[in-house]
Structure 1
Amino acid sequence: MSVTDEAITRIREMIASGRLRPGDRLPREADLAAMLGLSRNSLREAVRALSLIHVLDVRQGDGTYVTGLEPERLLEAVGFMVELRHGGSLLEVLEVRRMLEPAATATAALRATAEQLAGLEELQRRAEAATTVEELVECDVDFHRGIVAAAGNSVLSGLLAQIGSPTVRARVWRGLTDEGALARTLAEHRAILDALRARRADLAQAYALVHIAGVEEWLRSSTAPTGD
Structure 2
Amino acid sequence: MNSVVVETPTDLAGTEKVLAFFREQLLSGTLREGDRLLGERELSLALGVSRPVLREALRSLANLGFLDIRHGKGAYVRKADMAVIGDFLTFCLAQQPDMMDDIMQARIAIECQAIRLACLRATDGDLSRIGSLLTRLLDTIHDVEDGGAADFAFHMALVEASRSPALVTIYQSIATLLKRSHVQRRLETSETAGILDYLVEAHREVYLSVLARNPDEAEDKLRQHFAIGDELRRKSYIAAFTKKDLPKQE
Q: CA deviation at 1:39?
A: 0.6
Partner of 1:87: 97
Aligned-partner residue type, residue 22 of structure 1: E
- Find the partner of 1:157 among 148, 165, 168: 168
Q: CA deviation at 1:126?
A: 1.4
**Equivalent pair of 1:108/1:151 in contact (CA under 8 Å):** yes
Partner of 2:62: 51
Partner of 1:207: 221
Query: 1:5 & 1:201 partners in 2: Cα distance?
Result: 43
In structure 2, the CA distance between the partners of 1:24 and 1:104, relative to structure 1 (3 Å rule), is same
Query: 2:120 & 2:102 partners in 1: Cα distance?
Result: 29
**Equivalent pair of 1:171/1:215 in contact (CA under 8 Å):** no
Query: 1:220 & 1:57 partners in 2: Cα distance?
Result: 48
Q: CA deviation at 1:208?
A: 1.0
Partner of 1:187: 201
TM-score by length of 2: 0.78
**Equivalent pair of 1:170/1:219 in contact (CA under 8 Å):** no
Aligned-partner residue type, residue 194 of structure 1: L
Aligned-partner residue type, residue 182 of structure 2: R
Query: 2:64 & 2:103 partners in 1: Cα distance?
Result: 21
In structure 2, the CA distance between the partners of 1:30 and 1:217, relative to structure 1 (3 Å rule), is farther
Q: How does 1:34-49 map to 2 (within 5 A)?
A: 34-49=45-60
Q: Point out which structure has higher relative CO (alpha carbons under 8 A, 6+ apart).
A: 1
Gaps of 5+ in 1: none
Residue 64 of structure 1: SS of its match in structure 2? strand
- Find the partner of 1:142 among 124, 132, 153: 153
Q: Which has the larger radius of gyration?
A: 2
Gaps of 5+ in 2: 1-11, 246-250
Q: Which moved more, 1:171-180 or 1:151-160?
A: 171-180
In structure 2, the CA distance between the partners of 1:69 and 1:87, relative to structure 1 (3 Å rule), is closer
Aligned-partner residue type, residue 58 of structure 1: I
**Do structure 1's residue 109 and structure 2's residue 109 form an aligned pair?**
no
In structure 2, the CA distance between the partners of 1:214 and 1:123, relative to structure 1 (3 Å rule), is same
CA shift digits 1:50-80 (9 cap, x unpaired): 223332222345421112358x568534344
**Equivalent pair of 1:57/1:65 in contact (CA under 8 Å):** yes
Partner of 1:126: 136
TM-score by length of 1: 0.85
In structure 2, the CA distance between the partners of 1:63 and 1:126, relative to structure 1 (3 Å rule), is same
Q: How many residues align?
A: 224
**Equivalent pair of 1:94/1:216 in contact (CA under 8 Å):** no
**Do structure 1's residue 4 and structure 2's residue 19 form an aligned pair?**
no
Residue 16 of structure 1: SS of its match in structure 2? helix
- Identity over the aligned pairs, expressed in percent? 31
Residue 123 of structure 1: SS of its match in structure 2? helix
Partner of 1:97: 107
